[in-house]
Structure 1
Amino acid sequence: MGTQGYTHGRFVWRELMTTDAAKARAFYGALFGWTFDEIDTGVRSKYSLIHHGGKQLGGLFEHHGPSQWVSYVSVADVDAVARMAVELGGKVPRGSEDIPNVGRFAIVQDFAGALIVAFHDLKGDPTPEPARPGEFCWETLGTPDAARAKAFYGKLFGWTTMKGWGGTATMFTTDDSTRGQIAEIQENKEFKPAWLPHVRVEKLVPTCDRVSELGGQVPAPLFAVPGVGRIAVIADPTGGHMSIFEPARK
């Protein structure tokens, strides 16, 4: 997963837990041009690495629960983060646990039930680079309590918050700057609390059409963020949700 050096507090990996790995691979391969390499991690015997443009982007594996994307955050001490999560009113459904020759992780559930993974890669993290089409570029937290989420994740990962996107949206940042922005908070009491990863695409509407052709769904209307771009939430045929993003033309 890693290269060298660490980017503590940044998202470094995304992973799909799916009810049908073969169906998920076919869908995302056709939609984004992703390719897959099945490996034995020592934790899961059938784990598919996601590749695109010469990069490893994430992974997917089959499990018995609902299909769901989860995002990994780089931390210095996984065990300390896991303990802190419980102290802050969250839970640790799995961990802390080693992936042989890769690193250590813990699955954390925040106070509202949203899942996120604290991760430390033995070989370091990827160098942050602008996302190209087909690559992950952003995260959004949907939560019923934005104020509590700010406090929870601020203490857990050292994130701070700042205004972005025209001074209205609330962003998590690693260093109090726009350069350190890594995610957005959306307060919503209607939907299940969750972290939603975003993938950059060239054209949003044709990609949404392709989602439907491939057996997926577009459950949320397309919406535009002035000066930033257009976004749509999609669901793969197994029920895993993510967002796709078309940047505004400059």
Structure 2
Amino acid sequence: MADVTSYPTGQPCWADVTVTDVDAAAAFYAELFGWEAAKDPRPEAGGYTMLSRNGKHVAAASPPQQDGTPPHWTAYLASGDVDATTGRIREAGGTVLAEPFDVFDSGRMAIATDPSGAVFGVWQAGSHIGSQLRGEPGTLNWAEVQTRDRAAAQRFYAQVFGYRARAQEMARGGEYVVFEVDGTPVAGLLEIGPDWGEVPSNWSVVFQVADCDAAVATVRQHGGQLLHGPAEIEGVGRFAVVADPWGAAFQVIT
């Protein structure tokens, strides 16, 4: 277990799930990850619910802010200056969906898309740095952009966050791109293949578990779905793509 006190620019630092029934979602994720839920009582917080492990914040759940918003997980990338980052997003061909705004004293954020349409958040820490734990079951392990335009996405994230990209061959064919900050891997990029169907460009969040197959069984037992796997990634671990009962997709890895 490792406590986290800060994140470098560009590293995925937080994730939250948007669902219509936050209380039921909190119960589902409690069964899966052992998370404890605490809803912010302030009316202006809009029902935002912190999800914690061992007293440390690791994720959150929130009701949709607009009618018709489909359930989904959002990955947030760390920034030392959200306003400057949104400027670079526009310069690099992205779109700012929510202009930078303060979230109480917790921090400052924005929501944007890359040129291929993948949505992500940008988080400038205040009192809330993001996930306070890493490296144990029930914590954010990784995040990757799954894109329909690898070249455009790779250029975009390099320009906005200063990523250095390192491509590596995958056992099943194709390449996986690892984004690095100061020589440290922080996120990934995977091009969506023709066999994926209608999956749009997106950021996918990956949570660590003690046993991938047991986690998949728990997802199914409590109304979720298995979308892919479980499968081995040589030198990395065993993973699966799943969805909660509302359809919000995410990954689990051992």
Tell me if both proteins adopt one fold, taking TM over 0.5 as the criterion: yes
- How far residue 94 of structure 1 moved from its aligned partner, in angstroms, is 0.9
Structure 2 portions without partners, runs of 5+:
none
Alpha-carbon distance in structure 2 between the residues aligned to 1:97 and 1:41? 17
Cα displacement string for residues 60-89 of structure 1 (whole angstroms, at most 9, x for unaligned residues): 111131011111111121112112212222
Task: Please tell me whether residue 187 in structure 1 is matched to residue 191 in structure 2.
Answer: yes
Q: Superposition pairs for residues 196-215 of structure 1, below 5 Å?
A: 196-215=204-223
Aligned length: 242
Task: Please tell me whether residue 174 in structure 1 is matched to residue 181 in structure 2.
Answer: yes
Indicate conservation of the 8 Å contact 1:4/1:124, yes or no. no
Aligned equivalent of 1:160, options 157, 164, 186: 164
Pick closer, same or farther for the CA change 1:204–1:149 going to 2, 3 Å: same
Alpha-carbon distance in structure 2 between the residues aligned to 1:41 and 1:196? 30
Alpha-carbon distance in structure 1 between the residues aligned to 2:220 and 2:146? 24
User: What residue number does 2:59 align with?
Assistant: 58
TM-score (norm. length: structure 2): 0.87
Indicate conservation of the 8 Å contact 1:43/1:99, yes or no. no
Q: Superposition pairs for residues 103-118 of structure 1, below 5 Å?
A: 103-118=107-122
User: What residue number does 1:224 align with?
Assistant: 232
Structure 1 portions without partners, runs of 5+:
none
Q: Secondary structure at the match of 2:207?
A: strand
Q: Secondary structure at the match of 1:13?
A: strand
Alpha-carbon distance in structure 1 between the residues aligned to 2:125 and 2:134? 21
Cα displacement string for residues 85-130 of structure 1 (whole angstroms, at most 9, x for unaligned residues): 1222221111211111111100011111111111111247369875
- How far residue 29 of structure 1 moved from its aligned partner, in angstroms, is 0.9
Alpha-carbon distance in structure 2 between the residues aligned to 1:3 and 1:98? 22
- How far residue 224 of structure 1 moved from its aligned partner, in angstroms, is 1.0
Q: Runs of 4 or more off by more than 3 Å in structure 1?
A: 2-6, 40-43, 123-130, 163-168
Pick closer, same or farther for the CA change 1:42–1:160 going to 2, 3 Å: farther
Alpha-carbon distance in structure 2 between the residues aligned to 1:9 and 1:50? 23
Q: Secondary structure at the match of 1:150?
A: helix
Alpha-carbon distance in structure 2 between the residues aligned to 1:215 and 1:148? 37
Indicate conservation of the 8 Å contact 1:48/1:60, yes or no. yes
TM-score (norm. length: structure 1): 0.89
User: What residue number does 1:101 align with?
Assistant: 105
| Higher mean C-alpha deviation, range 158-167 or range 47-56 | 158-167
Alpha-carbon distance in structure 2 between the residues aligned to 1:108 and 1:139? 16
Indicate conservation of the 8 Å contact 1:165/1:228, yes or no. no
